[in-house]
Each structure stands twice: as C-alpha cells, then as structure tokens.
Structure 1
Amino acid sequence: MDLVLVLVVVVVTVALAFDFTNGFHDAANAIATSVSTRALTPRVALVMAAGMNLLGALLGTGVAETIGSGIITPPEGTSGLLILLAGLVGAIVWNLITWWFGLPSSSTHALIGGLAGAGVASATTVHWDVIATSVVLPMVISPLIGFALAYMVMLVVLWTFRRRPYSPTMRGFRLAQTISAAAMALGHGLQDAQKTMGVIVIALVAGGLHEGTSIPLWVKLAAAAAISLGTYAGGWRIMRTLGRRVIELDPARGFVAESVSAAVLYTTAFLLHAPVSTTHIITSAIMGVGATRRLSAVRWGVAGNIALAWLFTIPAAALMAAGLYLGVDLISG
C-alpha cells in the first residue's frame, strides 16, 4: 500500500473522529433545553438526538459541497493530505479543550479555522472571500437573528397564552418540546455532518480517488453514523452550561428556542448552503427567550465567556493546525 493511500485512510479516519467529537460536543445543542425543562430524560433525549442526527445527515449535500470546494484547495498527493490532517487535528484539539471547560464553542468554526491555518502554513490557496461571506458574515449575523427571532416569538407566545392557567400550559409546551428538540437535532445533523463529508471528499480528491464535489453514498453513511454515535455518547458538561447556567428555562421558552434555531438551520442549509454554527444559533436563541423575562435574567457573565470562546475558536484552531503542520514539515523535511 503506497503512502498516499495510507494517508487517505488516516485522513478519513481522523475526519470521522472529528465528526464523533462534533457529535458529543454539540449534543447539548439539540437536547439541553428539553433535558433542563424535564421534557425528556437525558437518555431518551440522547437516543432521539442521535437518530435525528443520522436522518438529518442524509437529507442534503449543499453545506458539504461548500466545505469541499470553498475553504482551501490543497494540492494532490501527500502534501495536500498532510494539510487536511493538520487542520482536522487542530479542530479536534480545540473541541476537546472547550468541551473540558464546558464552553459551547462552534465545531464548524474549529474545522474551518483548522483548515485555514494549515492552508496558510503550507502556502496553500485559502479562499478568504468564501470564508468572509459564508463563514464570518453568518457567524456575526446568525446569532443576532437567533436572538431577535426568539425574543419576538417568545413575546407572541407570552401574549397568546397570557390568560391560560400556568401549569396545564407548561405541560403542553413540555410535550411540544419533544417535537422541537427532534427538529433541532435534525437541523444539527443536516448542518454539522455535512462538514465532515466535505473534508472527506477533499481528501479523496487529493489522493486521486475522486473527482468533483459530489458526495459518495458511503461518505454520507460514514459521516452520519459517526456524528450519531458521538451524539449518543453525550456532552454533559456543555449541556449544563446551555441548559442551566445561561438561564433557567421553562418549557415554553425551551420550545421557542429550539423551534427558532431549527428554522434558521433549515434555511441556511437548504437555501443558502452556508455552514453556520448550531452552537451559536441555539445559544443566542436561549438568550433571546430569556431576555423576555428581564435582561438581568440572562447570566451575562456566562454569556460573555461563551462569546469569547466564539471569537477565539477560528484563530485558536488555525494556530494549532498551523503549528502542527509546520512541525510535521520540519521533521519530514
């Protein structure tokens, strides 16, 4: 077996490992609100989220093609595969660091930062225009949309149910959260598993085993399975941050946050093919519904720590990937 084929196998394996960490890192995105409001038990929520992640991963390829052709264009052969490997490892390391500290950072931006960092270190073409329009711009706009939409929808819900008895109403929303959590998990699979598919396709092209940006069926199935297994493994540290430390959620607010987030994810995946962050959207939506109580109901100190993690994710993953690539290049050179 020649070196290029070995490296393709290694890159694909590491890409699926990243997909797995994405699943357990971002499991909280789909189920934290439902678990914190006791709409679902943790185990039932994880099983449901894993199943919906699997289904969502198989529903489209637009985001995968954006990642596969729009972030970097590595050369074919061993050099290109080492660039991808460095990018993936940088993203995995950042995922593990933020998971350890319970910070809901973006796996999407960790991956894009890792690829860009390895690309710069290797003097590979990095498509900064695509990163600016399809990554940075949505990174700024999507949380604002999530916050504003969640705030407005929550106001409508509060006004609509203002004269209804509290306990029966909350029981109804607790049941409705089963649907909204499933919709959120579907959106997570639709967005995040596709990013790994895109990287695997780049690796296949760099290894001379594939042409174009189409996604082979086995790549879809492998990425879907990896993110689903990661989701089932759970992400309890981040779940506590999203479900309880940002704000104490009731079932109505949990339902609205999940529903708004799912709607944004579907829109960006199906219409814009933009790789947005599920983490950013659900976190900002939780803040939006919380602000309808009063602004002080949101624990802005925790929110500030989350925002810092968002800002540092792309440069931190980029630096890790660049350092790793330069180290490997120095040793092998």
Structure 2
Amino acid sequence: MDTFALVVTIGVALFFTYTNGFHDSANAIATSVSTRALTPRAALLMAAVMNLAGAFLGSGVAKTVSEGLIETPHGSGGMTILFSALVGAIAWNLITWYYGLPSSSSHALFGGMVGAALAGGIKVYWSGVIEKIVLPMILSPIVGLLLGYLVMVGIMWAFRGANPHRAKRGFRIAQTVSAAGMALGHGIQDAQKTMGIVVMALTIADVQDHNGIPAWVKITCALMLSLGTYAGGWRIMRTLGRRIIELDPPQGFAAETTAASVMYTASFLFHAPISTTHVITSGIMGVGATKRISAVRWGVAKNIVAGWFITMPAAGGVAALCYAVVHLAAG
C-alpha cells in the first residue's frame, strides 16, 4: 500500500509539473510573441528546450522546498498530506489557466502544502514559510517593478539618438536571447520545486534517507516541465503579452532581461523559490510605466495582483478539503 501511495503521489507531482509548464510557459514567451520577435510555436519550442536545460542547474531551490516548511512525518499520513497539497495546487493551476489569470504555480504548491499540513494536524514551520515564501513573494515583484523601470530608462537613454526602426529590429533579434534567458530561469526555479516534493515523498516512504536529488528525479521532472511548456498556455499569454500593455521590442527585451536577472539572483544567491509569474508581470508593469503611467492598464494589473494574494489560501483550502476526503475514505 505504501508503495502504491508513493507511486500515485509521484505521478501526481509529475502531473503538477506538466500543468506548471503549460500554465507558466507564457512567462517566458508572451513578450517575444506579442512583439513578433518569435512565432508562437518557435517560442514554445525554445522555451521547452531551455526549461529542460535549466532544470539541471543547481539544487538549492529544491532543498529549500523540501526542508523547513512543513514537518514530514513518515507513513501513509505524510503521503496523504503531500498528495492533497499537489491536488490543491493542480486545481488552482487549472482554474486560473481557464480564466487566463497569470497566477503563481509556485505559490499554489506552497499554499497546498500549508493547507494540507494544517488539515492533517502536522507542524507548519511558520518562520520558514514567512522567510522562504512570503518575503520573496512580496519583495520579488517590487524589485521586478523598479528594475524594469530602470532598465527601460537606461535603454531609452542609450538609444535616444538611434533610428527607431533599426533599433526595434535589433531589439527584436535580442529578444530571442532574453526570452531564452527567461525560459532558462523558469527551468531553474520551477522544475526544482517539484524535485523537492518528490524527494519529500521518497523520504516519507523511507526509500531514501538523504536530501540529495536522484538523477531520475531530475530527468523526469525536467521532461514533464518541458512537455507542459510545449503544450502552451495561450490564454495566459494573451493577458501577459497584450492586456497589461502593448509592448514593443525594446520594452519586451527590458522586461525579459529584468525577470531573468531577478530569477538567477534568487536561485543562485539566496536559493529562494520565487514566482516567475510575479517577476515577469511586475517587470512588464515597470517597463510600461516609463512610457506614461496611464499606458499600463492598471485595472488588469489590479486583478492579477489580487490573484497573487488569493492563490495560497485558495490552493490551501482545496488541499485541506482533499485531505479530509481522502482521510475519511481511508478511515
């Protein structure tokens, strides 16, 4: 029974990674597609390949996810909690994808973990949740907004005397690089989060007693994220690429460069699991504000930010309900 529960939980974790891929593929490519720097299918293929590569760069984020957020009790109870957390995250991913709302798959997962842990009566390390999840959730969009604004101001100053048509053509080419960097950062962040969950499942089932990530876990999580990315997330892509602001190639390059820089810094310096959705959205807002404040459709932005704040409690609520149903059925 324990082996069956482990296999099911890992399978659900991989499905979560797949939904993460098609839910968040828009993060890496929406700006490049909206500015016509890349065709949608070419952009998705590039993002899938870079997601795959990024998944193998480091393991700091995975260790952050698997340690210090919730207690990891052994046995069927612990596996039920992980299963419920993943179901909560998947449900929220699918709901927000359907409505085209670029919410965070990462925070859906964290919300699911906390909700399932509370329902299961196991310890939540609130200091770890605040330090590792809440603070990066608040700080990363602020940094993305300010940095996006500053990067765009720098580009406008550096190219103030350039021919507009020639400059846009150059930035359209440069966007293929910045979009690839964004997709690589997404792979570094989001594949590692699922790796951390799978390691927790293996530890709960007493399959391994260390925090290292087996090679098969890295490969499987990376492939599922890439497959999901290639499946695409067209609804969210429209929201990011056009509904917040109509981007031109210099603005798209600035937003992608900003988001990629924030993700690399968070991953390699702080091992902090941040949301790629949050940083690219805030980067787009910061870049758009250089044009004029009213150029950003703040009504759309407000709805997106509201979605950020309800993601964790909503996914946590679904996870708690799932735990109650599974526990009742098993009892």
Q: Distance in 1 between matches of 2:329 and 2:217?
A: 32
Match of 1:169 in 2: 167
Specify every segment of 5 or more residues in structure 1 that has no aligned partner in the other structure, as ranges.
none
Give the CA deviation at 1:70.
2.1
Q: Distance in 1 between matches of 2:249 and 2:176?
A: 10
Specify every segment of 5 or more residues in structure 2 that has no aligned partner in the other structure, as ranges.
none
Q: Distance in 1 between matches of 2:330 and 2:314?
A: 24
Matched-pair identity in %: 60
Match of 2:234 in 1: 236
1:328 to 301, 326, 329: 326
Match of 1:311 in 2: 309
Q: Distance in 1 between matches of 2:80 and 2:92?
A: 18
**Letter of the aligned partner of 2:111 in structure 1?**
G
Q: 1:74–1:83: 8 Å Cα contact kept in structure 2?
A: no
Q: Distance in 1 between matches of 2:185 and 2:74?
A: 33
Match of 1:259 in 2: 257
1:182 to 180, 183, 195: 180
Verify: 1:5 aligned to 2:3, yes or no. yes
Match of 2:284 in 1: 286
Which piece of structure 1 moves more, 155-164 or 166-175? 155-164
**Letter of the aligned partner of 1:268 in structure 2?**
A
Q: Distance in 2 between matches of 1:328 and 1:124?
A: 16
Q: Distance in 2 between matches of 1:11 and 1:328?
A: 13
**Letter of the aligned partner of 1:281 in structure 2?**
V
Match of 2:140 in 1: 142
- Which ranges of 4 or more aligned residues in structure 1 deviate by more than 2 Å? none
Which piece of structure 1 moves more, 67-76 or 259-268? 67-76
Match of 2:118 in 1: 120
Task: Give a deviation string over 1:200-236, Cα, whole Å, max 9, x none.
Answer: 0000001110112111110000000000000000000
Q: Distance in 2 between matches of 1:87 and 1:206?
A: 15
**Letter of the aligned partner of 1:126 in structure 2?**
V
Q: Distance in 1 between matches of 2:186 and 2:66?
A: 18
**Letter of the aligned partner of 2:150 in structure 1?**
M
How does 1:41-56 map onto structure 2 within 5 Å? Answer: 41-56=39-54
Give the CA deviation at 1:74.
2.4
Match of 1:20 in 2: 18
Q: Distance in 2 between matches of 1:128 and 1:13?
A: 28
Match of 2:27 in 1: 29
* 3-state SS, counterpart of residue 213 of structure 1: coil
Equivalent residue pairs, number: 331
**Letter of the aligned partner of 1:261 in structure 2?**
A
Verify: 1:83 aligned to 2:81, yes or no. yes
**Letter of the aligned partner of 2:67 in structure 1?**
S
* 3-state SS, counterpart of residue 249 of structure 1: coil
Q: TM-score, normalised by structure 2?
A: 0.99
